[in-house]
Chains A and B, each alone.
Chain A
């Protein structure tokens, strides 16, 4: 993982999110208030625009700059959560050394743990954490096991998709959808969908490399 890797992933994700924007917006209008997609799009644009400022920086500095940009430029729950993600990733030890797959897993796990802490949401509450926590658990398994990387990433895309779809029948207990009670049932959580798309994009780009 390097700053250039992050930027190129942000560009890939931006394309996929834009392609699916209408769907995510509609999901959010069903159970939220429709701001999620704009926040995610604004965040991706800000990160992509950072390219010239950060492309030659060491990873830790780059991550910190992305974190501050995301934190101060997005707003809403997404800004706080994704900002926390990058800020915590930047705190992983030994980032000045070569980042192999295991190290990258460790960074993502650290980031997701911090998001869980910040949002105080766990699995089963109909939020993006329904996708991110199981992904983090799988990464932990891959980190310490001997599974082939591409095989592992393909399993992750499957987990993310299953968990995203599973939010459909959940009652929400956190976030704006929690105000809806039974009426939130029958709709996929927009944060779970956008997170799944992000994970899917990153994994597939690594698998096809």
Chain B
């Protein structure tokens, strides 16, 4: 394992320390229990948004704390859900009385810990569960689909509504709409290495890719031989379009997300391929996002998320945001 590490046990603490120092004009890092909050207090009447999950997906979620997005983020150990006391403490810290909306990715550990945190918090609160990953079949009897990159879009769009005075119910409703309107498919070329494990999570041949990979290096739909980008992107989009079934000329946001180890050069190439393919199918791309937002440590690979946009979604997407990882309009 080649990583910047002093001591495996201090990995998270030292990384959070650095994050706090680098972005001290926007956020503050609280330790024991660990959570990242905005530097300023939540304004009266504003619903607070709290997300969180295992670390290793940076900038998600700490990088999305700030004006127009989250009020707090609770980082767990690498790839392990955070603990209920973190959510409780974060909620007590940020809630200005208008209530707390927890944004949770659909993984068993995250669901259970957020649920317990919500039970321990005495203030008004509700939750949204994201499950945009089309690689996994949905069913009411199983854990269902994973919550992956569309969580970034949910946090941005709901964050804007909350900033502009949306109620807890309205924020939850919009979040659920964004989640329902988005689909994500991921592909990995290499594994990632969890610091505590010290070795790659999975073995993969030099000429192979994992189609439908999750954001923790957990296996996806199938292992395949690597193909030209156009073919890979086409297969990814097919899976998404099968699921989302956008209308002809429907407006969409196209989000190409890097898993951490793929250069932007390649992500833009993927974006180009995706544009061509979507155009040929008569789907209009009205907004874009390209970059490493929901990563899996140093994994090489990318996910594509397509979000069907109505006016409400577009308006809130365009609204000003100022966080460590996303900034425009202010």
Chain A residues in contact with chain B, CB under 8 A? 25, 29, 31-35, 38-39, 68, 71-81, 83-84, 118-119, 173-176, 178-181, 183
B83 touches A71 (CB 8 A): yes
Interface size of B as a range: 35 or more
Return the contact of B197 from the options A34, A71, A178 (Cβ within 8 A): A34
Chain A CB within 8 A of B108 CB: yes
A80 touches B143 (CB 8 A): no
A179 touches B146 (CB 8 A): yes
CA distance A173 to B194 in the complex (A): 25
A119 touches B108 (CB 8 A): yes
Give the residues in chain A near B214, CB-CB below 8 Å: 33, 176, 179
Near A by CB (< 8 A), chain B positions 52-77 give 54, 76-77
CA distance A190 to B220 in the complex (A): 19
Give the residues in chain B near A72, CB-CB below 8 Å: 33, 83-86
Near A by CB (< 8 A), chain B positions 91-122 give 107-109, 112-113, 115-116
Chain A CB within 8 A of B170 CB: no
Q: List 29 A-B contacts (CB under 8 A).
A: A33-B201, A33-B217, A35-B54, A35-B194, A35-B216, A38-B80, A38-B194, A71-B85, A73-B83, A75-B77, A75-B83, A76-B81, A76-B113, A79-B80, A79-B81, A79-B83, A83-B84, A83-B116, A119-B112, A174-B142, A174-B143, A175-B143, A176-B214, A176-B218, A178-B142, A179-B143, A179-B219, A180-B218, A180-B219
Q: How many A-B residue pairs have CB under 8 A?
A: 119
CA distance A32 to B194 in the complex (A): 13
Return the contact of B202 from the options A29, A80, A179 (Cβ within 8 A): A29
Give the residues in chain B near A180, CB-CB below 8 Å: 218-219
- Seed contacts A72-B86, A178-B142; 18 additional CB < 8 Å A-B pairs: A35-B79, A39-B77, A71-B116, A72-B84, A75-B77, A75-B80, A75-B82, A76-B113, A80-B112, A80-B113, A83-B116, A84-B116, A173-B141, A175-B108, A176-B107, A179-B135, A179-B136, A179-B219
